[in-house]
Every structure is written in structure tokens, then in C-alpha cells.
Structure 1
Amino acid sequence: MKVFKNKTRKGKRVLEDRAPKVNENDKTAIIVKGGHTSDIVTKALTDLYLLRKPLATHMKKKNPIHPFEDETPLTKFAAKFDTSLFLFGSNSKKRPNALIFGRLFDGQLLDMVELKITSFTPSSEFNVPKPVLGSKPCIVLEGTAFETDPTMKRVGSMFVDWFQGPKLDQVRLQGLESVAYLSTDGETISLRVYRTVLLKSNTTTPRVELRLMGPAIDFKLDRKKLADDALFKTACKQPKELNPKRRKNTSEDVMGNQLARIHIGKQRTDEIQTRKVKALRKPKPAKEAAAAPPAAAAEAMEE
């Protein structure tokens, strides 16, 4: 590999920003048009770019690339713009209206799937206000295939990477402006994007309604190129600094509450200082009571 050396302060900052970190930067994406595209593919790329913006770069020039035959051009574009996700759109007689979602690990291809658009409704046809630029959506995956099918697991993970947006510690209810809803029956994948509307209610929590904002896309899984389990496990590995230190006798339930077990010594109740009352006095031992002479014998001896 070619090693770049910084010659200026700006170059040093760029190389430091691209270097591996304990807390990585937000994932960015690059959107590339193929040599031949249709109106559906162009509008779909634009809508997906607006959902990903500003963590995305849209290349509007046509690039005659065939990713499943040679992914090198896409990896070069990703290295140039320092992105870890890419979206490629093309249209041909054999594979019409195709979108290729992919992600990279350490500058090399990790996963790549080709989805054929079977139904598409652009967001411009929905008269619903769009969310603020850079807002973080809520992602919903529905369908048992996302949990049981190995391929659909990777597809669901890839869509989560695509829609997750910037990393935040907390999100207030008013800041949750959109919902990305993905459902599957094992063969087709449906994408619906909703806008949340907060309405008045009789409680302190407002009533939430969802209004279809677009785009509304139905996909059909075509080709795929997935990494093996060993490489995928390596890509998901986290630094030791991010793993919380395990504390003894502690656990965490489903709701995130921390539970702990406390060990205490044996309580010695006979050593506890109590109030000196007649009822709490200790009785005399049996031997001392038997050894003491009776009161009548003691009087006779005195006489």
C-alpha cells in the first residue's frame, strides 16, 4: 500500500482524522451513478441522499462501473472521500432499476447486496413537511427474516448503518422527527419513511402519529457478496477501552437497571447493647442456683 506522509499542517490533520480511533467518526457514505440510469434510479438516489445528508457525498456524473465484477473503482472513491458506505445505482435490460448497497472495512469491501426496485414513490409526491437536516431517525425492522435468515441479517445491519445518522448520547422526544420502517417477508423488502407528529393528549406524554413522508420503495433481493463470519466478527470487534469493566456481583436487566448483590457478615445479637430493664436481664445459670443454700437453712445456721 502507498504510504502518505504529511507535509503541511492541514495534511497532518487529515491523516489524523482518517487514522483508527477508539471512538470512530460518524459513518459517511458516497452515492455513485452508473453508466446507464433511469428516472426511477435517479430519484431514488436523490431521496436516499437527502435522508443521509450531511453525512453523504453525491456524485452526479455517470461512472461505467460494474461492482460485482470489479469493486476497485468504488473502493478508490471511498478512500478519496474517506467513506465507509456506498450506494451505486444503475439500470440495464438484464437488471433494471438496481441499487447496490455496500460497506467497507479497513478500506476493503465487506458486504454488498443488489436490490431491484419493484415499486417506487418519491418523497416529492407526499405533501408532508420534511425533517430538519441532520436529524436522527428511529429505525424499525419488522420481520422474522431479519433475525433468522443470515442474508437478511446482514441486509438489516446494512440498513441500520445507512439510516443511523450521527451518534448521540440522548435524543429528546421533540427531536425524533422521522421513522425509517423496514419490513420483509423473506423475499421482498419494503422501505417506508414517516414523519412524526406530536398531538395533545390527556397525559403529560403527547400522542404520536406517523404520516408517510416518503420515499416508499419496495425491493427484491438480487445478487449478494457477503464477507465470511470470521471477517465480519473482526469488523464488529470493539476496542478494549470501550468495553466496560466488569464489577463483581453486579448484573443488568432488560430495562438497563443495575442490580447488585451485597454480602454481610453474621449478625451477633447477643453482643448488641440493649436497655437494662428487668425483663431483658439474663437468667442465672442452673449450677449457681443449685449451689446457693436455701433461705431457711441460712437462718438456722446463724442461730
Structure 2
Amino acid sequence: MLRIVKPKTKRAKRELEKRAPKLEENVKKLLLLHGTSVSSVVKAVISDIYHLKKTGRNAIKLTRKNDNVRPFESGGETSLEFLSQKTDCSLFAFGSHSKKRPHNLVLGRMYDYHVYDLIEVGIDQYKSIASLGGGRKLAPQEGSKPCFVFVGEAFEAKEQFKQLKEIILDLFRGEVVETVNLVGLDRVFVCVAAADKVLLRHCGIRLMKSGSKVPAIELVEVGPSLDLTIRRNRLPSGDLKKEAMKTPFKTTKKKVKNVSGDSFAGKVGRIYVPRQEVEGMALTKMKGLKRERREAAIWRSGDGNGMKSPRDHKLLQHKKQRIDKYS
């Protein structure tokens, strides 16, 4: 029987709610790790990828050697799936180095904390961010969105290149949004397919003065710069791909009457108030108001002696009182 884990604290409850299935999934997190034997080049590539992903806290880097992680081997992915579930990561990058496969980098995706697909690339040429000065010139801003350019027919014709294209998009695209501010487009990834290689360049977008409203755009290579050779790959099975691509039915929210939204993502309500008969309400009457009403009633009845208003009648009465007093 499956054991249902119930949270004992509020913090554990929040973590389980974050990992629960949703109609709109969270940003995919990346797990970076390496095996027992790794070269300095692969370590530097992993560090640069972590530098690009850590701005949004969407990457976790493990520094210890992992003996049991062996992709493309039976039983060698159990430890990788355990680490993926523990860290809640749906992407991973595993680095290794051997005589048969030097400077090796395995990129893959997870579905339900199980390996979905894998692709293995070899690093032929590499330029780090530090060597190109990208960390000082144009560092990625918090929440910025990169552009992607894929040059070559192989990205649409060959399965290996199509798979690598999808993984690169999932790796660096960040959060999925509906609208993007042009100021937030500060980077571009250029991928060129040449024979069995992929040339990956990371450039920063610099806006220059052009004498008009539209600025001139200049691309500055900021790194990392990679020349990758595709070695091995493993595509998902048809049933697994069908299950992973299944989109849940989105239930339309029932419209609530007299409730709308504003520009600040808040709620604005409209309340219906019936008309109130204030004239017929029983209120506490003051003595002064009683005298004025009585005088107004006398004036309306025609006893005002031709006065135009109750005020004139009042002044006349006051004048008569003074005459009677001194007479």
C-alpha cells in the first residue's frame, strides 16, 4: 500500500503544496552535478551555467562526487532520480570525463521524478564568462528574459538536433510570461548547426544611440561560448511522451456578479444600495427647527403680511417687540 505523507509543520505543508501538480507549473529548476572523474573544463562549464541560472534561484549545484550516477546505463539513473525528487528539479546537467568520452556533458529532463529523455554532448571548445569579461560588462538582470536564435535546417529535420533545441529552451528560458518588457531583453543565445556540431554563443544586447527613437542594437559576446558535438541520445517512448504532453482540462471560472479587477490586480466590487426615504424618517427634532418651521408655515398660509420670506417676517416681529418695549 502507498503511504501518504502528511505534513507536521506549516513549512512542510507549504513545500508539499509547491510540489503538487498544478495547471500552470512552476519554473523548471536545474540540478548540476558531476561524477567521480571530471575535468576542469566540465567543472567550469557547470559553474558558468549555474551563474546564469542562480539569479532566479532556479538552479542547485552539488559539489560532491556522485559514484552511483551513470546515465544511459541500467540501474545508473536511480540515484539521479532520487536527487531530482529531493531537490524538486525537473532538469539536470551531469558532467564527466573519460578517455573514451572526454569533456562529457549529459543534459536531460525529468517527468514525475523519472528520466524523460537524455542527450550527451562533448565539449570541443570552450570560453568562460571570466575570459570574455561577461560578468563585468553585461551581467543578466534579475527576472530578465533571453532571446533564442537557432540557425540551420538540422534543428527542424534531425531528431537529435530537435531534442537538443528543446532542452536548451527549457534550460535557459526561465519563467513563462505572457508579455515582456523590451528593457528585460538583455541577452540572446545563438545556436548554429554545422554538420554534427552545435555552436552555442551567449551574447549580451547593448542599446546604442541611433539619432532616432529606435536604438541601435549591438551584440557583445559575454560567454559561455561552447562548441558541442552530439554523441548519444535517448528519446522518450510513445506512451510516456503522450502522458507527459497531456494537458489537463482548464475549468473556466464562474463569473461573479458586480466584481471586476483593476490595473493593480485587485478586486473592485459594486454594491447596490436601494433608495432611502429620508423625508419620512422619524428623527429627533430640535426646538430651533420647530420655531423656523412654524414661521415658515405661517408665511405659507398667507399671514405674513406680504413678506417675501420667513426671514422678513421674523425681522418684522422683532421690530414690533422693540417698539412695544420702549412705548
Q: TM-score, normalised by structure 2?
A: 0.71
State which of 100, 107, 110 in structure 1 corresponds to 2:106.
100
- Per the TM alignment, residue 238 of structure 1 is displaced from its structure 2 partner at its CA by 2.1
Could you say which residue in structure 1 is the equivalent of 2:220? 211
| Cα displacement string for residues 199-232 of structure 1 (whole angstroms, at most 9, x for unaligned residues) | 1123311111101000110111111121023422
Alignment of 1:67 with 2:68, yes or no, is no
- Per the TM alignment, residue 9 of structure 1 is displaced from its structure 2 partner at its CA by 1.7
Alignment partner of 2:189: what SS?
A: strand
In the alignment, the residues of structure 1 paired with residue 28 and residue 5 of structure 2 have an alpha-carbon distance, to the nearest angstrom, of: 22
Could you say which residue in structure 1 is the equivalent of 2:165? 156
Could you say which residue in structure 2 is the equivalent of 1:195? 204
In the alignment, the residues of structure 1 paired with residue 87 and residue 229 of structure 2 have an alpha-carbon distance, to the nearest angstrom, of: 29
- Per the TM alignment, residue 92 of structure 1 is displaced from its structure 2 partner at its CA by 1.0
**Percent of residue pairs identical:** 36
- Per the TM alignment, residue 151 of structure 1 is displaced from its structure 2 partner at its CA by 2.2
In the alignment, the residues of structure 2 paired with residue 11 and residue 103 of structure 1 have an alpha-carbon distance, to the nearest angstrom, of: 26
Count of residues in Structure 1 that have an aligned counterpart in Structure 2 = 243
- Per the TM alignment, residue 134 of structure 1 is displaced from its structure 2 partner at its CA by 4.3
Asked whether the 8 Å contact 2:34–2:65 carries over to 1, the reply is: yes
Alignment partner of 1:156: what SS?
A: helix
| Aligned residue runs from structure 1 range 1-303, under 5 A | 3-53=4-54, 54-64=57-67, 65-69=69-73, 70-128=76-134, 129=137, 130-241=139-250
Gaps of at least 5 residues in structure 1 are 244-303
| Cα displacement string for residues 7-55 of structure 1 (whole angstroms, at most 9, x for unaligned residues) | 2222211111111001111110110021111110110000111112221
| Cα displacement string for residues 116-159 of structure 1 (whole angstroms, at most 9, x for unaligned residues) | 11111111111341222442211222211111112221111111
| Cα displacement string for residues 223-277 of structure 1 (whole angstroms, at most 9, x for unaligned residues) | 112102342233223222189xxxxxxxxxxxxxxxxxxxxxxxxxxxxxxxxxx
Deviates most, 177-186 or 29-38: 177-186
In the alignment, the residues of structure 2 paired with residue 211 and residue 26 of structure 1 have an alpha-carbon distance, to the nearest angstrom, of: 28
Residues 190 and 25 (structure 1 numbering): CA distance in 2 closer, same or farther, change over 3 Å? same
Give the residue type in structure 1 aligned to 2:20: A
Runs of 4+ in 1 over 6 A off after TM superposition: none
Gaps of at least 5 residues in structure 2 are 253-327
Alignment partner of 2:126: what SS?
A: strand
In the alignment, the residues of structure 2 paired with residue 169 and residue 186 of structure 1 have an alpha-carbon distance, to the nearest angstrom, of: 35
In the alignment, the residues of structure 1 paired with residue 112 and residue 48 of structure 2 have an alpha-carbon distance, to the nearest angstrom, of: 28
Asked whether the 8 Å contact 2:143–2:184 carries over to 1, the reply is: no
Residues 146 and 209 (structure 1 numbering): CA distance in 2 closer, same or farther, change over 3 Å? same
Asked whether the 8 Å contact 1:102–1:111 carries over to 2, the reply is: yes
Could you say which residue in structure 1 is the equivalent of 2:285? none
Q: TM-score, normalised by structure 1?
A: 0.76
In the alignment, the residues of structure 2 paired with residue 2 and residue 162 of structure 1 have an alpha-carbon distance, to the nearest angstrom, of: 33
- Per the TM alignment, residue 5 of structure 1 is displaced from its structure 2 partner at its CA by 2.1
Alignment partner of 1:74: what SS?
A: helix
Deviates most, 142-151 or 108-117: 142-151
- Per the TM alignment, residue 94 of structure 1 is displaced from its structure 2 partner at its CA by 1.3
Q: Which has the larger radius of gyration?
A: 2
In the alignment, the residues of structure 2 paired with residue 157 and residue 118 of structure 1 have an alpha-carbon distance, to the nearest angstrom, of: 21
Deviates most, 38-47 or 1-10: 1-10
Alignment partner of 2:70: what SS?
A: coil
